[in-house]
Amino acid sequence: MINTIFNPKEVAIIGATDRENSVGRGIVENLKEEGRKVYYINPQKKKIFGKKTYQKITDIDGKIDLAVIAVPQKAIDEVIDQCIEKKVGGVIVISSGFAEIGKEGKKRQEKIRKKLSSAQIPLVGPNCLGLIRPSVGLNVSFAPGTPQKGGIAFISQSGGLIDAVIDGAENNNFGFSIIVSVGNAAGMGIEDYIAIADGDKNTNVIALYIEGVKDGRLFLKTLQNTKKPVIVLKAGKTKNSKKAVTSHTGSLAGEYKIFSAALRQGGAIEAQSLEELFDIAKALSWQNKNKGTGAGIVTNGGGAGVLLADLLDENNIKLPQKTSNPLDILGDASPEKYETACRKTIKQKEVSLLAVIQTPQTVTKPLENAKRIKKIFDDHKKPVVAIFMGSGVENKKAINYLEEHKIPNYSDPKRALKPIMALINKL
Amino acid sequence: MILDYKEQDKILKKYGLKVPDTCFVENKTQASSSASKIGFPVVMKISSKKHFHRTEVGGVLKNIKSKEEAQTAFTSLSKIEDTQGVLVQKQVEGVEFIVGVKKDPLFGGVIMLGTGGTMVEVFNDVTFRVLPIKKGDALKMIEEIKGKKLLEGFRGLEKIDKSKLADILVKVSSLADKEDYQEIDLNPVILNDKKAFVCDVKIVV
């Protein structure tokens, strides 16, 4: 981990401002002092939110770990030169107007890349949203806030998708260790971030959004060397969307079938949507895989149980039949009944994972059920997945309880399928 | 350009890829005597540096069962344009796969396995790996195509050891590692419960 970027002691925001609706203000609002010194650089303002500003980074006494740059294109060269003079430990270039806009931009990008590389200063971006590490209270981005901390590292070639994920984060119980916007990857590339996340003690699972990679073999080798589970959402599968990708980030989209095969070869899991990416990621961030072939289902609703059984069967997941499986404990099932059925199911050797379905019927006690499932999860070292269907007040309480105790919940058997397969190492 | 028959044959043998008994013939008499030496039935096909898909120009004739049929076949095959001669090959029965290698702009050499024969494009039952591959990768590839059922004793067919096909994939991987090529097509690769053969090959350089 490059601590000057990923856990800096001093950060300078170049292009800091209090101007409404600006990128510079977004970064200022996101970056809290929390044990680190923050400096604002703006030659046109004496103060920002009552805090002193500097004309340029070289005016600051003492060292600077990280410079975050959000200045207009014409000021970039000068600012980069000053960062090199100041010997900063790392640079994040948020500003756009580089390779993504064409030849001229590409030249400009190459120029700053060369300068920083010969000064041995690592570069994130340009044309990126920035970096967020909830685990160490760092947010050097203009994203709409900081999500809660957790075990997921999210590495994305789209800044907009990061915004969308963060904006919806309040509804989720999972959290993040690292969120990084790759941007044009002139300096550090997607492979560097994967290696960093793999070595990060707060990260349990790595989620990627990818449009294209520059060096297929390097990417594959990185995946093969990664110890933690990697889940990939790949865009640019069809010819039309490929065109949009090329003009969007200036990266190359490879032929999809081959890319998909390379993901399998690298041991990565491929997700088909953003929802699926995080459905799988939350399961793997909370629970360890348990290699196996069989799942046990306990349900208080016959229909939901059959739906899940069908899905598992279609995907060659066995439902061991030592006891009924799915085990339907009927609509009037009490928490005691749930507990007995779950214990009977999970203790079987052939059952590698327990899936508990609950439909909210009149006599159902969701929170009490959740508490008993949590106990069972603690007692057995096997994955447990919940499918508490519905979103009434009582059910929500139960779902939050489950997820606070690392049991992922899915609103629909279909959404639980891939996470279940991932947890028993069948994806 | 496609490598000619002799060069291709040399390369296949170098990497231990088995080809059914084959003779290159240039006239009717050679055709009938080679066919009877090899043993009927035989397949006869044109040898050409230009035709990428021989069946599309009627350049492959199967089920030839006698000397007379071999002579007739030679006459009709030698009428096809850009034909440098005719190959007479022992006809092998079994299930057909395609193994291919191409250079991908992003990953470099990649290998493909698919359910083979002339309808490979119709079924589109293919999977890929980045080269080089080991036997474990090859076995996983086989599991990824629907055509694997053809090896598992489908509808009364004999069960065929999957590792025979995996061995071919690994041999092609080492071929691609050392030889010069743009694209390689091994189609069909025919397997039965006893043997596995590469019945047709195109090495494009």
Chain B residues within 8 angstroms (CB to CB) of chain A: 104-108, 110, 126-130, 137, 140, 144
Query: Do B128 and A261 lie within an 8 Å CB cutoff?
Result: yes
Q: Give the closest of B108, B127, B140 to A217, CB-based.
A: B108
Q: Which of A325, A324, A342 is nearest to A333 (CA)?
A: A342
Distances (CA, A) of A237 to A157, A257, B71: 15, 8, 51
Query: Do B107 and A257 lie within an 8 Å CB cutoff?
Result: no
Whether A263 has its CB under 8 Å from any CB of chain B: the answer is: no
According to the model, what pLDDT value does residue A240 have? 55
pLDDT in tens, A197-213: 999 999 999 999 999 99
**Chain A residues within an 8 Å CB radius of B146:** none
Angle formed by the axes of helices A216-225 and A256-265, nearest 10°:
30
DSSP conformation class of A272: S
Average pLDDT for A39-63? 96
Q: Give the closest of B110, B140, B144 to A258, CB-based.
A: B110
Reply yes or no on whether the pLDDT at A101 is more than 70. Answer: yes
Burial-class residue A328 by CB neighbours within 10 Å (0-12, 13-18, 19+). buried
Q: Which of B50, B55, B26 is nearest to B200 (CA)?
A: B55
According to the model, what pLDDT value does residue B81 have? 85
One-letter identity of residue B158: E
Task: In chain A, count H helices and then E strands.
Answer: 15, 18
Residue-averaged pLDDT of chain A: 94
Query: Do B107 and A220 lie within an 8 Å CB cutoff?
Result: yes
Q: How far is B91 from chain A (nearest CA, A)?
A: 33
Query: Do A265 and B126 lie within an 8 Å CB cutoff?
Result: no
Whether A316 has its CB under 8 Å from any CB of chain B: the answer is: no
**Chain A residues within an 8 Å CB radius of B130:** 216-217, 220, 258, 261-262, 265
**Chain A residues within an 8 Å CB radius of B144:** 264
Q: Which domains does chain A have, with CATH numbers?
A: 3-124 (3.40.50.720), 130-286 (3.40.50.261), 295-423 (3.40.50.261)
Query: Do A252 and B105 lie within an 8 Å CB cutoff?
Result: yes
**Chain B residues within an 8 Å CB radius of A215:** 106
Q: Which domains does chain B have, with CATH numbers?
A: 21-90 (3.30.1490.20), 95-204 (3.30.470.20)
Reply yes or no on whether the pLDDT at A186 is more than 50. Answer: yes
Reply yes or no on whether the pLDDT at A72 is more than 70. Answer: yes
| Token pair 């990428």 in the structure block, residue | B52
Q: Is B95 in contact with B188 (CB distance < 8 Å)?
A: no
Q: Give the residue on B whose Cα is nearest the Cα of A263.
A: B129
**Chain A residues within an 8 Å CB radius of B108:** 216-217
For residue A169, what are the contacts with CB-CB under 8 A and spacing of at least 6? Answer: A145, A147, A148, A175
Distances (CA, A) of B125 to A185, B52, B115, B159: 36, 21, 6, 20
Reduce the DSSP state of residue A352 to 3 states and report it. Answer: coil
pLDDT in tens, A158-179: 999 999 999 999 899 999 999 9
The beta strand positions in A75-204, using DSSP E, are: 90-93, 123-124, 130-133, 138-141, 149-156, 176-181
**Chain B residues within an 8 Å CB radius of A255:** 104, 106
According to the model, what pLDDT value does residue A248 have? 30
Chain A segment 211-230 residues within 8 A of B by beta carbon are: 212-213, 215-217, 220
Reply yes or no on whether the pLDDT at A243 is more than 60. Answer: no
Whether A329 has its CB under 8 Å from any CB of chain B: the answer is: no
Query: Do B130 and A255 lie within an 8 Å CB cutoff?
Result: no
Reply yes or no on whether the pLDDT at A241 is more than 60. Answer: no
Q: pLDDT of chain B along its 205 residues, tens only?
A: 788 888 999 999 999 999 999 999 999 999 999 999 999 999 999 987 777 677 778 899 999 999 999 999 999 999 988 888 899 999 999 999 999 998 888 899 999 999 987 778 788 888 999 999 999 999 999 999 999 999 998 877 789 999 999 999 999 999 999 999 888 989 899 999 999 999 988 888 8
Query: Do B137 and A265 lie within an 8 Å CB cutoff?
Result: yes
Query: Do A265 and B127 lie within an 8 Å CB cutoff?
Result: no
Q: Which of A201, A257, A209 is nearest to A230 (CA)?
A: A209
Q: Which of A215, A246, A257 to mutate to test the interface with B (most CBs of B within 10 A)?
A: A257
Query: Do A216 and B128 lie within an 8 Å CB cutoff?
Result: no
Q: Give the closest of B105, B126, B130 to A265, CB-based.
A: B130
Q: Centre a 10 Å sphere on the Cβ of residue A218 and count the other Cβ atoms it contains.
A: 13
Reduce the DSSP state of residue A87 to 3 states and report it. Answer: coil
pLDDT in tens, A316-368: 999 999 999 999 999 999 999 999 999 999 999 999 999 999 999 999 999 99
pLDDT in tens, A379-408: 998 999 999 999 999 999 999 999 999 999
Q: Is A8 in contact with A66 (CB distance < 8 Å)?
A: yes
Q: Give the residue on A whose Cα is nearest the Cα of B101.
A: A258
**Chain A residues within an 8 Å CB radius of B129:** 261-262, 265
Query: Do B107 and A252 lie within an 8 Å CB cutoff?
Result: no
One-letter identity of residue A419: P
Query: Do B130 and A262 lie within an 8 Å CB cutoff?
Result: yes
- How much is the ipTM here? 0.85
Q: Give the closest of A220, A252, A257 to B130, CB-based.
A: A220
According to the model, what pLDDT value does residue B52 have? 67
Element (DSSP H or E) covering residue A194: helix A190-199
According to the model, what pLDDT value does residue A250 have? 25
Q: Which of A135, A140, A144 is nearest to A162 (CA)?
A: A144
Reply yes or no on whether the pLDDT at A246 is more than 60. Answer: no
